[in-house]
Structure 1
Amino acid sequence: MPSGSDKSGSKSAKAIKAAGKKSKTKGGVPARSGGARGRNVPWLTIGAAVVVIGLIAALAINLIPKYQDRAEAQRFAPSESNQDPSTAIEGVQIQQYPAALHVTGTQRVAYDQSPPFGGPHDQIWANCMGTVYPDGLRTENAVHSLEHGAVWIAYDPDALSEDQIATLASKVEGQQYMLMSAYPGLDSPVSLQSWGHQLKLDSVDDPRIDQFITALRLNRFQYPEVGASCSTTPQTFDPDNPPPFDPTPPGADAVPMSGEGITPDSTELTDPMQLPADPAQPVVPTP
């Protein structure tokens, strides 16, 4: 028969064993061996968030400078108190030219600038409804567009890459009173013209391009024929088949810049439907 001490030892052993079982459970649930495991990391969600953040950063890097450039360009918007903001743009050349001096489609003008930005010009204007001409364009037609308030971007096709040309085209396409064409032999990669104004540049990324356009496109204080159209019809000027650029020097019979021998046309027509079907025929003023 066990003694009292044996009974006490037996009870102690049972108590220790019971305590060990309890330590292996929490609220009746077996405890995990090897310590508590870490939570599952949502790597897919984290990866998607990183991608989204990266896209936002890329857009910001590309778009913010463009918005800043546009905001900067708006400082050059014309107003009653600042009728020629281009005077604050470094490199802009300004000259005064008489308006409404028209030549026929077979005549050339002895321009004093290359590209020209004023003076006698063809009686038919080049289409300037955001038109990007893939090749050169007859200068006498382009100058008439300037008289209507357009900005003409000319470029040296041998000095620019396709991407650079596309950068310039993006500033013209879809913008009324804008046109763009190649100008072989140009003495700078890029040249911007409005009536009586010119800016020659080396880079298509120069912020002065937007400044010039803002300051002078449809600036009613700086071009002669406010309200004149930039649209044409195929019967007057076909943008898909325009008069080509002529790289040869004007001959001795070219019309001088003074317009000598030309009677100024004070009845400039603004509706292309009113113009004669044959661009070589002179415009006859309506009595």
Structure 2
Amino acid sequence: MANGTTKKKGSSASAVKAAKNRSVVAGKRTPWGTIIGVVVVVALLAGVIVYYLQASAPKRDQAARDEAAAAFAPTASNPDPSKKIPGVVTKQYTGSVHILPTERVAYDQSPPFGGPHDGYWATCTGVVYPTAVRNENMVHSLEHGTVWIAYNPDLVKGDQIPLLEARVKGKPYTMMSPYPGLDKPISLQSWGRQLKLDSADDPRIDQFIAALRTNPNGVYPEIGASCDALGKGMFDPSNPPKFDPSKPGKDAKPMDYKGSTGAQGEQGGMPGTPPAGQ
């Protein structure tokens, strides 16, 4: 009897111990659900960081280019730093000579960078135009202190486009557009000045912008003039007047033209409105 009782007690104790061991083993199982959740969150965060770094890279790179070109900003002692930029062409043009929206000008340069122009300026508030825009409107914006980046869409492609856009987007008194038939990949225009280049990596792009955009030292006719959108019926940036690649006809206005009767006045005013400051 004693032996039988002892055997039963031993069996019971073994069963309890085995049950405890199973409980401990079960409690130590790997929490795969938690691990997978953490991995997913970390991957998402890494993806966001990588996307931000990639998306902000053009802006960060442009900030470095702007800083490098800061030495070309105009000063009282150096009113036109563009004179020190190799390749810049300079010409003298008379400002404030307007034509009608139905008229053309026989410009002496391509792209033009001065001369008679439409009474309505092209919106130049850091706009990147996806299609080519009528010359006569773009030239008016140059008269207001704008820098216009034109590019040959057959020669400038791929990552060169974002490089140019980074110089323009969100920056007042700048604009950009394709220019079919351009004899160089890239051409920069300000009033009376032009620089043609082969690559969007060229630091002279930033030097030109630093030297001439809203330069207050008399390098363009209408200091303080607006670049804002004029709107439908005048100049609508969402549907701008199209560029005409054909050669101007005999009725085109010459470079020494004195202006059309009834043409829009300065600053969007009535015909004959004098420019700002006059």
TM-score by length of 2: 0.73
One-letter code aligned to 1:195: W
Aligned letter for 1:248?
A: S
CA–CA distance in 2 between the matches of 1:143 and 1:114?
A: 11
Aligned to 1:144: 140
The verdict on how the C-alpha distance between 1:248 and 1:199 changes in structure 2, with shifts beyond 3 A counting, is same
**How far apart, CA to CA, are the structure 1 residues paired with 2:60 and 2:179?**
32
Compared with structure 1, are the counterparts of its residues 232 and 80 closer, same or farther at alpha carbon in structure 2 (3 Å cutoff)? same
Distance 1:113 1:76 in 2: 25
Aligned pair 1:224/2:221, yes or no? yes
**Larger Cα-atom Rg:** 1
Rate the CA distance shift 1:72–1:109 in 2: closer, same or farther, 3 A. same
- TM-superposed CA distance for 1:181, in Å, is 0.5
How much has 1:69 moved relative to structure 2?
3.1
Q: Which has the higher helix share?
A: 2
Instruction: Find the counterpart in structure 1 of residue 11 from structure 2.
Output: none
Show the counterpart of 1:245: 243
Once residues 241 and 63 of structure 1 are traced to their aligned partners in structure 2, the CA distance between those partners, rounded to angstroms, is: 27
Which SS does the other structure have where 1:220 is aligned? coil
CA shift at 1:268, angstroms? 5.0
Q: Deviations over 1:69-120 (max 9, x none)?
A: 3332011000111110000000000000001110000110000000000000
Structure 2 CA distance for partners of 1:66 and 1:177, relative to 1, 3 Å: closer
2:112 maps to: 116
Cα distance, 1:67 vs structure 2: 5.3
Q: What's the C-alpha RMSD, in Å, of the aligned pairs?
A: 2.6
Q: Tell me if 1:194 matches 2:190.
A: yes
| Corresponding residue number in structure 1 for 2:181 | 185
Q: Is the 8 A contact 2:116 2:255 kept in 1?
A: yes
TM-score of the aligned structures, taking structure 1 as reference length: 0.71
Tell me if 1:165 matches 2:161: yes
Tell me: CA distance 1:251–1:74, structure 2 relative to 1, closer, same or farther (3 Å). Answer: same
From 74, 81, 99, the equivalent of 1:85 is 81
What percentage of residue pairs aligned between the two structures are identical?
54
Unaligned runs of 5+ in 2: 1-45
Structure 1 residues 81, 224: CA separation in 2 closer, same or farther (over 3 Å shift)? Answer: same
| Deviation sequence 1:207-263 (CA, Å, 0-9, x none) | 000000000000022110011000123232100000000000000011000115658
Q: Is the 8 A contact 2:87 2:196 kept in 1?
A: yes
Q: 1:174 to 1:199 in 2, by over 3 A?
A: same
The one-letter amino acid of 1:241's match is N
